Structure 1
Amino acid sequence: MKFFIDTANLDQIKEAYDMGVLDGVTTNPSLMAKEGIKGVDNQRKHYVEICNIVQGDVSAEVIATEYEGMIKEGEELAALNPHIVVKVPCIADGIKAIKYFTSKGIRTNCTLVFSVGQALLAAKAGATYVSPFVGRLDDICEDGIALVGKIVEMYRYYGYTTQVLAASIRHTAHIMQCIEVGADVATCPLSAIKGLLNHPLTDSGLKKFLEDYKRVNG
């Protein structure tokens, strides 16, 4: 499973890259605003800065909600860097835009997916990625991980090549569950990825090793 980091923070992106675990980045204007990056020009410059670090795909989100606006924004975003994947909401005009982008060789990430039916429409339109939102479904007492698993199963059954990018990942347990149901990608905070390192036997084993070394070597 590939790891994307969901942030606009360059330090975190560099840290994940230096660890050797970074396959891509998902970000959006909301995440950029948290980093104090405002204005379309500054945000697009920031997308390029991210692409200069990452060796994989970087999802950049359109703001428009109508077809023509999505096409204009998406083409401008895709022209910024070859790593850019245009992120489009799963609405009627978004599905139509995905079909257009696919015909032009522009890769897409269909976002805000909350059902198998939505995921099916995105795949039929040619989306490169589809992003079911795990945490937001859990927030309303629905099973986000189960949805990821159902989409994976549907794509395999019908032979769609769209990759399932599990989004709205809240913690390390979500990552492990995404692995179990066969998600292609998980996009998550760096803290959730680093949480995979934690195990009490690793800590106790290292402590004992160091104690033994000190006892033998003084």
Structure 2
Amino acid sequence: MWSPATSPSSTLSATVSVKESPRKESEPVELFIDSADVDEVRRAAALGVVSGVTTNPKLAAAAEAGSFRERVGDILACCRGPVSVEVLSESADEMLAEAAEYASWDARVVVKVPMSLESLEVIHKLERERDIRVNVTCMMASDQAALAMMAGASYASLFVGRIADMGYDADAVIGETAEFIERGQFQCRIIAGSMRQTADIRRSFLAGAHIVTTSFELLAQMAHHPRTMETIAEFKSAWDEARKRGELS
């Protein structure tokens, strides 16, 4: 049974705090853009801070109509890192076939597989037998992430905003997952998604996420601070006044 007083995890301790994250300090952190909009991905990639892309069926449905394969190809063309593409099939055989199709498009395509008991076999076969990288998605608990790692997943996606919606501590879930990776020596990277505000991004990194995937809107908000704008305006005003007085040329 899950305890509502802690987090949605029953097998790992929920006492891991942000400061207790077991992630090694030397491990890199990365920012991904969560979008299926080619122009948006291109804008984000041009900033030099985004190293990958995650897509999902909802984002793809909201994007401009057209060939999904061509859209993924355009995204790959403007981003240097991995691009996650999610399977929609439900049976194991269909998921394997769909995953193989996506993986054939480009070596940088990572197949997103939603977490379920049935999908564990799919994850295992894709990673261990077909050498196809898998991003296990829609996870809300460290228990689920632990199973994904054991099955061989390259990425474990935790939905921070949705975890918080249930009243649980998303930081603790990330911390538990990071501890499990460390103790089990799994070659798996935590992707924190479902960002609702910039504070979620910051806290997810500090809690132990290797990667945070976010919308372009929140990425833009990260660069903005009203006090920064006030300070820039103040400095410019002082410079302009000095030039008017002839003190600067």
TM range (shorter): over 0.9
Equivalent position to 1:16, from 20, 28, 44: 44
The CA deviation at 1:200 is 3.6
Q: Which amino acid aligns with 1:45?
A: E
The answer to whether the Cα contact below 8 Å between 1:130 and 1:163 also exists between their aligned partners in 2 is yes
Match of 2:236 in 1: 210
Match of 2:174 in 1: 148
Q: What is the SS of the residue equivalent to 1:124?
A: helix
The answer to whether the Cα contact below 8 Å between 1:70 and 1:97 also exists between their aligned partners in 2 is yes
Equivalent position to 2:63, from 7, 13, 35: 35
The answer to whether the Cα contact below 8 Å between 1:170 and 1:189 also exists between their aligned partners in 2 is no
Q: Which amino acid aligns with 1:55?
A: R
Q: Does 1:57 align with 2:82?
A: yes
Q: TM-score, normalised by structure 2?
A: 0.83
Question: In 2, Cα distance between the equivalents of 1:204 and 1:191?
Answer: 21
The CA deviation at 1:190 is 1.2
The answer to whether the Cα contact below 8 Å between 2:84 and 2:111 also exists between their aligned partners in 1 is yes
Question: In 2, Cα distance between the equivalents of 1:204 and 1:36?
Answer: 38
Alignment of 1:1-218 (within 5 A): 1-37=29-65, 42-103=67-128, 104-218=130-244
Q: What is the SS of the residue equivalent to 1:23?
A: strand
Segment of structure 1 superposing worse, 188-197 or 158-167: 188-197
Question: How many positions carry a matched residue from both structures?
Answer: 215
Q: What is the SS of the residue equivalent to 1:105?
A: coil
Distance change >3 Å, CA 12–CA 36, structure 1 → 2: closer
Question: In 1, Cα distance between the equivalents of 2:174 and 2:160?
Answer: 8
Q: What is the SS of the residue equivalent to 2:50?
A: coil
Question: In 1, Cα distance between the equivalents of 2:190 and 2:60?
Answer: 24
Deviations 1:132-190 (CA, angstroms, capped at 9, x unpaired): 11111111222223211211121112211200000111110100101211210011111
| Unmatched runs of 5 consecutive residues or more in structure 2 | 1-28, 245-249
The answer to whether the Cα contact below 8 Å between 1:112 and 1:133 also exists between their aligned partners in 2 is yes
Question: In 1, Cα distance between the equivalents of 2:35 and 2:226?
Answer: 29
The answer to whether the Cα contact below 8 Å between 1:29 and 1:43 also exists between their aligned partners in 2 is no
Sequence identity, in percent? Answer: 32
Structure with the higher fraction of residues in helix conformation: 1
- Please, what is the CA RMSD of the aligned residues? 1.3
The CA deviation at 1:26 is 0.7
Q: Which amino acid aligns with 2:221?
A: G
The CA deviation at 1:64 is 0.7
Question: In 1, Cα distance between the equivalents of 2:46 and 2:163?
Answer: 32
Question: In 2, Cα distance between the equivalents of 1:192 and 1:36?
Answer: 21
Segment of structure 1 superposing worse, 151-160 or 52-61: 151-160
The answer to whether the Cα contact below 8 Å between 2:190 and 2:209 also exists between their aligned partners in 1 is yes
| Unmatched runs of 5 consecutive residues or more in structure 1 | none
Deviations 1:85-138 (CA, angstroms, capped at 9, x unpaired): 000011122111111111221111000111111111110111010001111111
